[in-house]
A and B are shown apart, each in its own frame.
Chain A
Amino acid sequence: MGMTITEKIIAAHAQKEKVIPGELVQVKIDLALANDITAPLSIKELEKQKIDRIFDPDKVVLVADHNTPCKDIASAQNVKLMRDFARKYGISHFFEGGKAGIEHVLLPEEGLIAPGDLVIGADSHTCTYGALGAFSTGMGSTDIAASWVLGETWLRVPESILFLYEGKRKPFVTGKDLILFTIGKIGVDGARYCAMEFRGSVISELSLDERFTMANMAVEAGAKNGIMEADSKVLNYVSGRTSHLSRVYQSDPDAQWREIIEIDVSSLEPQVAFPHLPSNTHSVYSIPKIEIDQVVIGSCTNGRMEDLRMAAQVLKGREVNPRVRLLIFPGTPSVLKQAEKEGLLRIFLEAGGIIAPPSCGPCLGGHLGVLAEGEKCVSTTNRNFLGRMGHVKSEVYLANPYVAASSAVAGYIAAPDQI
């Protein structure tokens, strides 16, 4: 019996010939990351236990991106704690201020991820790096603290589900729509504990940015990781960025799948996930008129160049509806610079949008765009849970950047060909 990409990466890091789903293994890690919400717990745990050993400071990554630019004294203290910790142990991959961006946009950009890597992070969207053919998964602060000391962690080898996407995409159907549709189809626990492997001609055609969006939301179906084959687009992307070796794997023809799910995208329309679960998906063309108060474009899901280009394509020469606040969060300083270079910032500003600093801010209702009672928001982020972006009686509708931008113009949820 053959192995899947996920099993091959885990086996290589467990120094085993073969692993099988369900097996518990100890694996060496290539990188362990934490952010300004999760790192403080990890650091305090190490201090409490009086452990002052880090296995390899170069394999620890700390990103101040959630409550930054620091929204209050407590969040500033948390970033200070990270900074002091980074200095004490000589952790070079500590990102704050003008070097910081949203972690899952930043790490690939910085060349910290290569195909075949095994990466863990104290953030559930660590699964994003599967787009580069790496195994990556989210854990909690204590697991990450332990990995910083030992250089390894334990994993239960997940079963894999193969998702095959074929057909020709309609206009305005993006990677975001493929993953929202998939979550809608299998449910928020449809891939619980599993690896989701995305494959098919549609995946090959997707830009890398759209692939990141898909892998990013694997956790919203309960998955341990999302993964794709590292093809020439991936190898081009990582070459020149990363100094470490790419290990390219493919699933064997006789690999064992829990399920194979084939999705014909030809009839798929842009998706909108209604409150309060990412699986409450509808075609944008089938929904009633829903007036909105805010639009957020950005996040680890849709804060990359392709996403901003999609938004700009819609917003060029148009104005945001007076009832709507449009907030745009470029994922990293590099994305922001590139958007400036391409003239996208001017388009956003002339449309009446607000350009915010690279931050996770509004996605989790942290700061920089929190919702009041009864407000509705169309967001390119990943979660629409109860109270996620603010007041418990606010509502979040998840969509792609085209739909988000056109909704900002219309004042209600709409696709570009409806405005």
Chain B
Amino acid sequence: MIISGKALKYGDNIDTDVIIAARYLTSTDPAELARHCLESLDPTFSEKASSAILVAGKNFGCGSSREHAPLAIKASGAKAVIAASFARIFYRNAVNIGLPILESEEAAEKIKEGDQLEIDLDKGEIKDLTSGDTFQVNPFPPFLQEIIERGGLMNLVKERVKSH
């Protein structure tokens, strides 16, 4: 699958409180969460999100276990998150709910704000169409690849339940 979008750059340690503040967590509605996604860091995020690919530094998604964080990003219309590294709970949550995440220190460093990006998820390749650079991404382990291909963890669980 190929996805494309414009790079929106953020720094290191973007935490889940910044991605979606706790005061909005009484809602589980993705559209409502998306309206407040990243608002404390970038009040205009929700307006520009729909064509965006987030590009951030290290430890993206650190902090709370709130799955509302990747849900909010996904519902904002943002296509994917590229980061130098991800915090572990966010990483699991993103895989489970089907938000594409890509880990590449080099891409996180070299991609510039506003660059037009094209990602080939199957090949694990990020193309920066503005600069002409291509980045190879650390691949998912096969088990996680399976979760992604089935469209999220719960589809796997459903199959296990049926086969019992």
Footprint of B on A, CB under 8 Å?
A: 24, 37-38, 40-41, 44-45, 48-49, 51, 53, 66-67, 71-72, 74-75, 78, 121-124, 126, 138-143, 145-146, 149-150, 154, 156, 188-189, 192-193, 222, 224, 277, 364-366, 370, 383, 385-388, 392
Contact = CB atoms under 8 A, between A and B. Distances in A.
Contacts of A154: 143
17 contacts: A24-B143, A37-B22, A51-B157, A74-B27, A75-B26, A123-B64, A124-B89, A139-B89, A140-B70, A142-B67, A143-B153, A146-B157, A189-B58, A222-B87, A224-B88, A364-B17, A366-B23
A192 B88 contact: yes
B88 A222 contact: yes
B116 interface: no
Listed from nearest, the 4 A-B pairs whose CB atoms lie closest are A74-B26, A140-B93, A140-B67, A364-B22
Interface residues of B, number: 41
Nearest to B164: A53
Interface string B140-158: 0101000000001110111
B17 A386 contact: yes
A142 B59 contact: no
Contacts of B87: 189, 192, 222
Given A139-B92, A142-B93, A392-B40, 10 more contacts: A53-B161, A71-B26, A75-B26, A124-B63, A189-B62, A364-B17, A370-B23, A383-B63, A385-B15, A387-B18
Contact of A140 (B28, B58, B66): B66
B30 to A, nearest CB: 10
A41 B62 CA distance: 20
Contacts of A365: 17, 21-23
Contact of A193 (B13, B88, B158): B88
A51 B17 contact: no
Given A53-B161, A123-B65, A387-B17, A37 B25 contact: yes
A124 B65 contact: yes
Interface in B105-164: 141, 143, 152-154, 156-158, 160-161
Given A74-B26, A74-B27, A387-B21, A51 B161 contact: yes
Interface in B1-28: 13, 15, 17-18, 21-23, 25-28
A392 to B, nearest CB: 4
B79 interface: no
Contacts of A78: 26
Contacts of B161: 51, 53, 149
A235 B88 CA distance: 31
B62 A188 contact: yes
Looking at B15, B40, B65, the one whose CB has the most chain A CB atoms below 10 A away is B65
A38 B22 CA distance: 11
Contacts of A366: 22-23, 25
A189 B21 CA distance: 21
Looking at B26, B68, B89, B161, the one whose CB has the most chain A CB atoms below 10 A away is B26
B45 to A, nearest CB: 13
Contact of A222 (B17, B25, B59, B64): B59
